[in-house]
Structures are given as C-alpha cells and as structure tokens.
C-alpha cells in the first residue's frame, strides 16, 4: 500500500485520539490546557510584558548581584576584543543620556549645531524702552512646525510637543524671536461646553525666554511697570489664529472657540483672564491614570494628569460666520454654496 493512502487514516486517528483526551479531561485539566494554548498563541506579547515588569527587574537584579564578578570579567574581555564597537557604544550611550539630549526620543535627537541654536534661541540682549510701546513692537510670525517643536521640547517644562494638526507662531520683539505659541486640535472626543471637538482649537504650548519674562519699564512719573509680554502675544494670536488656521487647513471645520488647561500648581491663569477667557471647569488630579488595560495591569498615572487643571474657554464672536480673508474667497464660497443648493 502506498504511503499517501495511509496518511489520511493516521491524521484521522490522531484527531480522534485528541478529542477522546479532551472528553476524558476533568474541568481543571481542561482549564490548564486552554491556558497553555493561550500562552503559546500570545507568547511574544507575554514575554515582552514580563521584561518590563517589576518582578522581572528584581529577579534580574538578584541574579546580577550573585554573578557580578563573572559579568564584569566577561565585559572586560569583550571590551579588549572589540575596541571599535565599544567606542561606538559609549558614544551612543553618552549622546542619548546626556543632560543636553535627555528630553529627545532616539529618532529625533538634534545634532550639535541644532542644539546650539535651540539653547541660544529667544535670548534678548537688551530691551530699549525708548523705541516705543510693547504693543507696537511685539509681532507674531508663523513659525516652521519642525523648528518650533524643537524649541518647545527643549525649553517648555513638559518637554514634548503635540500631535495632530498644529499651528505655531514666533513671538518677536523688534523682529527678534523671544518665544513660541503653539495651537493644535485638542485630544478629546466629547463636546466641551456644547462645542464639538473639531470646532475647538487648543492653546497647547506657550513659552517665553526668561530674559524677557520679568522685564520692567518706567513711565513718565518714574513708576515701574512689568511688561505683559505673554498677555500681549496671546491677544495678538487670538485676533489672527482663526484666519491662519483656515488658510493652513481649509478642509477642516471652522473654529468656534479656543480652549486651554492651566496647571493650578504652576499658574494662576492671569494671562487667560486678561485675554477674556472664561473658567468653565476643572480636570486632572487623582482621577486620571487608574484605568485597566486590555492586556492586564493598570495604566500608569501620567504626569500631565497629576495636578488639578483649570479649563479656560474663549468663544469667538460671530463664530457661526465663515472665516474669509479676501474678496476672491468670498466669491468662491458664494459660488460653491449656490452649486450645493442646486444639486
């Protein structure tokens, strides 16, 4: 009899034997079998999670303490045998873990020239109060998103930028950049104060160089006043951000309001109140970061949600009206609306 004829019978007998084994199993044995099968299906993800667990780290530490001398001897031998690889490894480690690059991801660490530019950015050598009022000297320029994100990651206290659609401005005094403002779509999925998320714009980041944060000037009577650079910059950005956002993202819904969250431990919300923002609620605190993950375990509390934050909202007047910038766009919108009504 050929071998091909015996294969189906062998396969059938194996499957029947497996079925009989499952039928003869007790409930406890069946549960163990199911767990074993689940483990082999998800072995990679389980091992990956175990590497990051605290028990795994403690066991590794205990093992290293027992075998410390052997590990040191092996590493020294490897260093002698592989000098070139050792040099490159040390360079990569120092570059990634140095104080200058500790806020960067491995894929976006800036080079030496970029770091020098980032560290020197925003420094104002001298503010001459005889040149005129701050409101006339302070201007905003649309900033390249990549460069503004580099400045924010390095200088802002959160040390990271934002995702999704973004728009950033350089804050300039006498045409010299001294800070940055970043607007983006908020990372929320539910309406806030009756406004849909896609019609909200979040004031996500605001940073001004320390050399201009505490500047003072004297009036004619000799009284000293502090320069409200942040409030002035925010007021100017509110006046133009709706139009600039429409020009950059014409296919997105029109913006009806600006939303922002202020950390109660770090800020009092003075610049928001001076720009006619309204307090609409609170968020953050211990209520965040305690949810369950699908792959077992808990979400770790995020540092953004550690402190209570005050939510501020600024509603644009006549927010239902379309944002237009010139007569050609007005005519184009009228033609498009007429076609929509016809068809």
Query: For the chain, how many residues are written?
Result: 343
Strand, coil or helix: 314: strand
Question: Are the CB atoms for 322 and 301 separated by under 8 Å?
Answer: no
Output the CA angle 146-200-334, nearest 5 degrees. Answer: 95
In 3-state terms, what secondary structure has residue 139? strand
Reduced to 3 states (helix: H, G, I; strand: E, B; else coil), residue 158 is coil
Between CA 64 and CA 177 the distance in angstroms is 51
**pLDDT of 183:** 95
Angle between helix 68-81 and 83-97 (nearest 10)? 110
Instruction: List alpha helices for the chain, DSSP H.
Output: 3-24, 27-41, 43-52, 54-66, 68-81, 83-97, 112-120, 134-137, 145-155, 210-213, 229-248, 270-274, 327-342
Which own/partner pairs from 42-48 qualify as long-range (CB within 8 Å, at least 24 positions apart)?
A: 45/295
Domain residue limits, the chain: 1-35, 42-80, 82-109, 121-342
Strand partners, 181: 169, 206
Query: CA-to-CA distance for 282 and 236, rounded, in angstroms?
Result: 26
Other Cβ atoms less than 10 A from the Cβ of 238: the count is: 18
* Architecture category of domain 121-342 in CATH: 3-Layer(aba) Sandwich (3.40)
> What is the reported pLDDT for 251?
92
Does residue 171 contact residue 181 with C-beta atoms inside 8 Å?
Answer: yes
Would you say 306 and 329 are in contact if contact means Cβ atoms under 8 Å apart?
A: no
Compute φ and ψ for 274, nearest 5 degrees. -70, -20
What H or E segment, with its residue span, contains residue 277? none
**Radius of gyration (C-alpha) of the chain in whole angstroms:** 31
Measured CA to CA, the distance from residue 113 to residue 116 in angstroms comes to 5
Rounded Cα–Cα distance for residues 176 and 174 (Å):
5
- pLDDT per residue, tens digit, the chain (343 aa), is 454 555 455 445 556 656 666 677 788 888 888 888 888 888 888 877 777 777 777 888 889 899 999 999 999 999 999 999 998 888 777 766 665 667 777 667 787 788 889 888 988 888 777 777 888 889 999 999 989 999 998 888 888 888 888 999 999 998 899 999 999 999 888 888 889 999 999 999 999 998 888 777 776 777 776 778 888 999 999 999 999 999 999 999 999 999 998 888 888 888 898 888 999 888 765 544 455 555 555 555 556 667 788 899 999 987 553 434 343 443 444 444 443 443 3
**How many Cβ atoms are within 10 Å of 229's Cβ, its own excluded?**
22
State the Cα–Cα distance between residues 48 and 295, nearest whole angstrom: 11
β 200-208/257-263 pair status: parallel
Answer yes or no: are the C-beta atoms of 277 and 314 closer than 8 Å.
yes
């Amino acid at each position: 009899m050929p071998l091909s004829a015996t294969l189906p019978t062998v396969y059938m007998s194996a499957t029947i034997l497996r079925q009989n084994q499952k039928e003869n199993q007790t409930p406890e044995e069946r549960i163990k079998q199911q767990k074993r099968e689940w483990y082999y299906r998800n072995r990679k993800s389980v091992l990956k999670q175990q590497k990051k667990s605290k028990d795994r780290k403690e066991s590794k530490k205990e093992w290293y303490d027992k075998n410390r001398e052997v590990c040191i001897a092996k590493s020294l031998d490897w260093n002698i045998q592989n000098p070139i690889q050792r040099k490159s490894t040390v360079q990569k480690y120092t570059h990634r873990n140095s104080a200058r690059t500790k806020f960067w991801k491995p894929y976006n660490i800036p080079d030496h020239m970029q770091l020098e530019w980032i560290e020197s950015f925003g420094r104002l050598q001298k503010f001459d109060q005889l040149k005129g009022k701050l409101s006339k000297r302070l201007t905003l320029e649309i900033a390249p998103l990549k460069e503004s994100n580099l400045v924010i990651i390095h200088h802002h206290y959160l040390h990271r930028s934002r995702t999704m659609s973004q728009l950033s401005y350089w804050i300039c005094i006498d045409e010299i950049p001294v800070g940055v403002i970043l607007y983006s779509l908020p990372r929320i999925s539910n309406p806030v104060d009756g406004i849909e998320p896609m019609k909200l714009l979040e004031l996500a980041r605001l940073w001004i160089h320390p050399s201009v944060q505490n500047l003072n000037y004297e009036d004619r009577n000799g009284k000293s006043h502090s320069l409200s650079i942040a409030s002035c910059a925010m007021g100017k950005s509110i006046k133009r951000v709706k139009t600039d956002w429409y020009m950059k993202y014409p296919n997105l819904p029109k913006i009806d309001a600006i939303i922002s969250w202020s950390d109660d431990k770090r800020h009092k919300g003075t610049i928001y109140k001076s720009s006619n923002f309204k307090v609409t609620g609170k968020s953050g605190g211990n209520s965040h970061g305690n949810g369950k993950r699908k792959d077992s375990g808990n979400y770790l509390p995020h540092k953004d949600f550690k402190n209570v934050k005050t939510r501020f909202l600024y509603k644009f007047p006549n927010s239902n009206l379309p944002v237009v910038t010139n007569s050609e766009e007005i005519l184009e919108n009228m033609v498009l609306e007429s076609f929509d009504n016809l068809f």
